Amino acid sequence: MRYFLIAGEASGDLHAANLMATLKKEDTQAEFRFLGGDLMLAQGGTLIKHYREMAFMGFIPVLMNLKTIMRNMAVCKQEIKSFAPDVVILIDYPGFNLKIAKFVKTELGIPVHYYISPKIWAWKEYRIKDIKRYVDKMFSILPFEVPFYQKHDYPIQYVGNPSLDEIHHYKTTQQAEVASFRSTNKLSEKPIVALLAGSRKQEIDKNLPLMLDAAKDFPGYQFIIAGAPGIDREYYATYIQDTEAKIVFGQTYPLLSNAYAALVTSGTATLETALFDVPQAVCYYQSGGKILYYVVEKILKVPYVSLVNLIANRTVVKELLGYKASVENLTEELNLLLTNTNYREEIKTGYQEIDRLLGEPGAPEHAAKAIIANLKK
């Protein structure tokens, strides 16, 4: 069968690539065409657009790149039409993907499956209308999404979380990489604090300086930045000059395997950090002070922003958001993470709860089998 996939950012590229690998096992005649990245390309098929040409987030960046976005959408529609796939598989990226879903369903009549739901439970809940109209099957990777969609009379299937699979695979195959991490990167024997400041430039701009300022109060530790895919080393140079922080690329898992604590922006990285059992604080700065903070608080439909706390449905890790993401608050929280044994153990107990709620590995396999079974019907 022919599969057309759309992933608009680095995390989507990873999850889509793993799904493609499993689809090939289940369907030896599988053909792929996609918008995505290098990991998807490694699975075979035709790359139409790289996610680096698509990853615009926020009102101003979207507005400034509107022509590019519309051109990408036109190319995508034409490619789907000419490829005539048996199914279109969307991975998150809702602003783009839901418009494609409408086109595919109303003009081409091709089945639309969604792997990794848009976060409509956090905001833009109105998008449920488009999902019910244009998406045939939704495969969820977060257990709390099932009751949310049930509330809207739209049944979905929880297939497990792909981060479980990726981390399980890493832990069982890459132990040598974990052991050699310090020597490979010429690090000292000081305990490591991992800095995961986001995957987009606007996230890094706002959060990395705060993290590095907080790091100055802890000379007994070494602070290592996880470089984001698709962002050049030179981009980080402005931030790390005059600091002792170092940066590694393509080594987030070995970094977390060696970390004693972590400062993390919101997103999948918070869950990955939890699955590596690393105590963390979540930091996401937005300018605008208290006024913007309270406006955003009213818009959000959920009490937390980190996946860790959302899955547990309680505060497992501290969230420092908006104006609360100050150097002073971050320093105070980091001190607790590094020195308070009871505090660290409380966080790790919460992580055990999250692990239980997520269930067993196997998300790509479950999703691939369900997609093929639905198509064969």
If the chain, 377 residues long, is cut into consecutive pieces of 10 residues, what is the mean pLDDT of each piece? 93 92 96 96 95 63 63 92 97 93 96 94 90 97 95 95 91 84 94 93 92 96 92 91 93 96 92 97 76 54 87 96 92 97 98 96 95 92
Q: Using CA atoms, how far apart are residues 133 and 283, in angstroms rounded to an integer?
A: 36
300-359 pLDDT per residue, tens: 667 888 999 999 999 999 999 988 999 999 999 999 999 999 999 999 999 999 999 999
Give strand ranges (E) for the chain: 2-7, 31-36, 46-50, 87-91, 112-115, 137-140, 157-158, 192-196, 222-227, 246-249, 259-264, 280-284, 318-321
190 Cβ contact partners less than 8 Å away, ≥ 6 residues apart: 220, 221, 222
Measured in whole angstroms, the distance separating CA 160 from the mean position of its chain's CA atoms is 15
Assigned token pair, 46? 């035709």
With 0-12 / 13-18 / 19 or more C-beta atoms within 10 angstroms meaning exposed / middle / buried, residue 363 is buried
Q: For residue 300, what are the β-bridge partners?
A: none
Q: Are 233 and 253 in contact (CB under 8 A)?
A: no
Q: Using CA atoms, how far apart are residues 245 and 193, in angstroms rounded to an integer?
A: 10
Q: Using CA atoms, how far apart are residues 276 and 124, in angstroms rounded to an integer?
A: 31
Assigned token pair, 351? 């992580």
The amino acid that residue 317 corresponds to is: V
CATH 3.40.50.2000 fits 2-160+362-376, yes or no: yes
With 0-12 / 13-18 / 19 or more C-beta atoms within 10 angstroms meaning exposed / middle / buried, residue 77 is middle
Which pLDDT belongs to residue 229?
Answer: 79
Which pLDDT belongs to residue 59?
Answer: 47
Which pLDDT belongs to residue 302?
Answer: 74
Q: In the CATH scheme, what architecture does the domain 174-358 have?
A: 3-Layer(aba) Sandwich (3.40)
Question: Global pTM?
Answer: 0.86
48 Cβ contact partners less than 8 Å away, ≥ 6 residues apart: 33, 34, 35, 75, 76, 79
Measured in whole angstroms, the distance separating CA 13 from the mean position of its chain's CA atoms is 10
Q: For residue 33, what are the β-bridge partners?
A: 4, 46
CATH 3.40.50.2000 positions along the chain are 2-160+362-376, 174-358
3-state secondary structure 86-117: CEEEEECCHHHHHHHHHHHHHHHCCCEEEECC
β-pairing verdict for 112-115 and 87-91:
parallel
Name residue, tokens 């792997």.
115
